[in-house]
Amino acid sequence: MATRRIGVIMNGVTGRMGLNQHLVRSIVAIRQQGGVTLPGGGTVVPDPILVGRSEAKLREIARAHGIARVSTDLDSGLANPADAIYFDATVTSARVDHVRQAIAAGKHVYCEKPLAPTTAEALDLAHRARRAGVKHGVVQDKLFLPGIRKLKRLVDDGFFGRILSVRGEFGYWVFEGTDDDRPPQRPSWNYRKEDGGGIILDMFAHWRYLLDHTLGAVGAVQCTGATHIPERVDESGRRYAATADDAAYATFVLAGRDGDIVAQFNSSWAVRVYRDDLLQIQVDGTLGSAVAGLRGCKTQSRAETLRPVWNPDGPNPFDFYDHWREVPDSGDVGNAFKAQWEMFLRHVAADEPFPHDFVEGAKGVQLAELGMQSWAERRWIDVPPLRNGEGVRG
C-alpha cells in the first residue's frame, strides 16, 4: 500500500491546547501509528512544521517529539507548496488574519474554535474558502467524546421518549495567579476581551454544535454573563483587570423531534466542582433520563424511576444515585481531537465528507454574539439560520 506525505503548518503549538491535544495527542500519535488509512487503500502521514514566535520553544518541542521542521516565519511556510494544510491554534484575536493568509495561499485550513471574534468575520472566512476551492474545518471535539457519543446513541434509539429538558454544568475554579503554589490553569488572554477572551465566546461555540448535532437545533437564547473575578495575575506576575466574562448562565430553546426542548447551561471558571466530571449534561424525557460526562453516561428508565414524596420533616429514605445504569462502551474512539484530525486528513487526501466546516464554526460564533446581545439587552434573542457562508437570513 502506498504511503503519502502531507505537509501541515501548525501555528500555535506552544500553547496548552495546540501542544497537548493537537500536536502530541493527535499529529504525533497519528505519525506513531503509521498514518491514517485511506478508504481506497494506502495511508497518509502528516509531516508537521511548527510555526510560532519563539524559535527556542519550537525547537524544544520539536526535539521532544521527533519533528524536523520549525519556523518563525509564517509567510515562508505558507509559500511552500509542499505543505497543503494550515492549522491555527493561536489566540482568537489573531486567527482571522492568519486564516485569510492561508486561504489566499491556497492552503486547506483546519483551526481551533472560535473561528473568529464575530459572525461577520467567520462568514467572510467561509466565503473566501469556498471561492478559493480549499477545504476547511473547525474543531468540534466534544462530539467525539465517549460520553457524548453514548448520549447521542440514546437519542437516536428513542430511549428518552419525548425529550423535555437538558441541564448542562461546565467549569472549575481557575486560580487567579495570587497563590504561589497554584498558578492559573488558563492563559491570561482568556480574561481580556480585547484579546478575544471570555467564556461566552469560548464555550458557546461548543454548546452550539453539541446541542445542534446531539439534541436539536438551537432556536433562541437567553443569557446572563458575569465577570466574577475582576482582577488576575498574568504570566509575568503582573496584576491586570479582567475585562472579559468568566461565567455565563444561559437558557436555550431547541427544536426537538417531538417539540421544543428547554436547555439550561451554566459555564463558569469561578466554580468549585461537586459532580462527576468538569462537564456534565442531564437529559430528561418522558421514558427516561441520562447523565453524561466526558467519558461515561448513565441512564434511568421510567420503570427504574423512584417515586419520592416531599417530606421535609423526616430523613430522606432514598439513595438517588442508585437505580442508574452505566451505558456500555461501543468501541473506543481514543482521543477526541485525534479522531477529528483523522477525519480532516481523509477529507483533504481522499475527499471524504467533513461536516464541521467554517459555516458550522460560524454558527458557534453567532450563538456567542447573540448570547452577549441577550445579556446586554436583558431579553430573549431568536437565533436565525445562517446561509451557506453568505450571511444571515431572518
DSSP for 234-280, written as a single string: -TTS-EEE--S-SEEEEEEEEEETTEEEEEEEEEESS----SSSSEE
Average pLDDT rounded to a whole number, residues 340-367: 97
Say if residues 44 and 345 touch (Cβ distance below 8 Å): yes
Name the CA dihedral angle for 52, 55, 61, 64, rounded to a multiple of 10 degrees.
Answer: 150
All 3 cell numbers of residue 345? 486528513
C-alpha cell recorded at residue 371: 448570547
pLDDT confidence of residue 1: 66
Q: Which residue matches cell numbers 419525548?
A: 162
Instruction: State the pLDDT confidence band at 393, using cuts at 50, 70 and 90.
Output: very low
Parallel/antiparallel/unpaired status of strands 83-88 and 3-11: parallel
Coil, strand or helix: which one is 366?
helix
Nearest to 279 by CA among 184, 207, 213, 202: 207
To 5 degrees, how large is the angle CA 294–CA 297–CA 300?
150
Question: What cell does 323 get?
Answer: 437505580
* pLDDT-based confidence at residue 268 (cuts at 50, 70, 90): very high
Length of the chain: 394
Q: Output the pTM of the full model.
A: 0.94
C-alpha pair distances (Å), 201 with each of 118, 232, 267, 392? 9, 19, 11, 19
From residue 29, give the alpha-carbon distance in Å to each of 33, 45, 156, 186.
6, 11, 31, 24
pLDDT of 331: 74
Q: Write out pLDDT tens, residues 103-139.
A: 999 999 999 999 999 999 999 999 999 999 999 999 9
Q: Which of 33, 66, 39, 35 is nearest to 50 (CA)?
A: 66
